Structure 1
Amino acid sequence: MSGALVYGLEPDLDAATFEEVLVESGLDPRRPAADRERLDRILRGSDLIATARRDGRLVGVARTLTDFAFCAYLATLAVARDCQGLGIGRRLIDETRAAVGPEASLLLTAAPGIEGYYEAIGMPRVPHAFRYDRER
């Protein structure tokens, strides 16, 4: 695999490119990847979109909802399967934390079976969280 990884903030990421990384990461069954209009609404409603690109190709994205003052919810972390294991997810989390600033806590809900990844990178587990699942 050639090319350096380039990290950045992309507030105008388009739905088609977002869909590609969702599919390439395997996260598409947990997101409405086939619904471009809904993906566009998801992106437009995000406060922070951190990305990783290799040779122009989007290979990772971290999508966050935040007030930049107290709390941040990392709603999507996706890394293309062929780029997993390169530290991209950890770096996207670091980029997100830097962008939201030191006053904001960062929270996420891990996909079932992925909890070990977050433990391995040293992200503390929160035992007292609650959630209503979406209806559709």
Structure 2
Amino acid sequence: MTIDYSINAPVTADQFIDLLESSTLGERRPLEDHICMAGMIANSNLVVSAWDGSSLIGIARSVTDFHYACYLSDLAVHRDYQQSGIGKRLQAITQTQLGPRCKLILIAAPEASTYYAHLKYTHNERCWVLEPGKSIGD
């Protein structure tokens, strides 16, 4: 099996949705909201993708300033390709695109927390989330 990796290659919303549906990440994303999903992929400024021929089989979707912080919003690998090093490679390629002082930051799915520890990520408990519909200070 030959997997090709690309940086900022075009990915359609439908390809993105199909990949998330066939990975464990789909259950935590608004797959039914095509406009939101299209916006997620279109407005990411660093997308590393893995392809088996013309099939999208992995993605590392990030928002970054390339110098200080890179938020790895989505890391997904198709179920049929998991446990083969694709997720690790997507993260490594992402890291090569960042400046030497840039941190790679992510929020792990509960079942994936042990995965990141063995890749040398440091656990940080200081994450806060403001849900849609909530106003600052109300």
Q: TM-score, normalised by structure 2?
A: 0.89
The answer for unaligned runs of 5 or more in structure 2 is: 134-138
For 1:3-22, what aligned pairs fall within 5 Å after superposition?
3-22=1-20
Count of aligned pairs = 133
Partner of 1:71: 69
Partner of 2:26: 28
**Could you tell me how far 1:64 is from its partner in structure 2?**
0.4
2:130 and 2:120 mapped to 1: Cα distance? 23
Q: Give deviations 1:55-74, integer Å, cap 9, x for gaps.
A: 22110000001001111000
1:85 and 1:129 mapped to 2: Cα distance? 29
CA distance 1:111–1:133, change in 2 (3 Å): farther
2:68 and 2:8 mapped to 1: Cα distance? 22
The answer for unaligned runs of 5 or more in structure 1 is: none
For 1:1-136, what aligned pairs fall within 5 Å after superposition?
3-120=1-118, 122-135=119-132
Return the letter of the residue paired with 1:135. P
Kept in 2: contact 1:11–1:48 (CA 8 A): no
Q: Give deviations 1:11-54, integer Å, cap 9, x for gaps.
A: 53110000011001121110111211111111122110100011
Kept in 1: contact 2:59–2:90 (CA 8 A): yes
> Matched residues, percent identical?
32
1:83 and 1:29 mapped to 2: Cα distance? 18
CA RMSD of aligned residues (A): 1.5
Greater CA radius of gyration, 1 or 2? 2
Q: TM-score, normalised by structure 1?
A: 0.90
1:46 and 1:129 mapped to 2: Cα distance? 24
CA distance 1:53–1:68, change in 2 (3 Å): same
What stretches of structure 1 move > 6 A for 4+ residues in a row? none
1:11 and 1:129 mapped to 2: Cα distance? 33
Kept in 1: contact 2:9–2:49 (CA 8 A): no
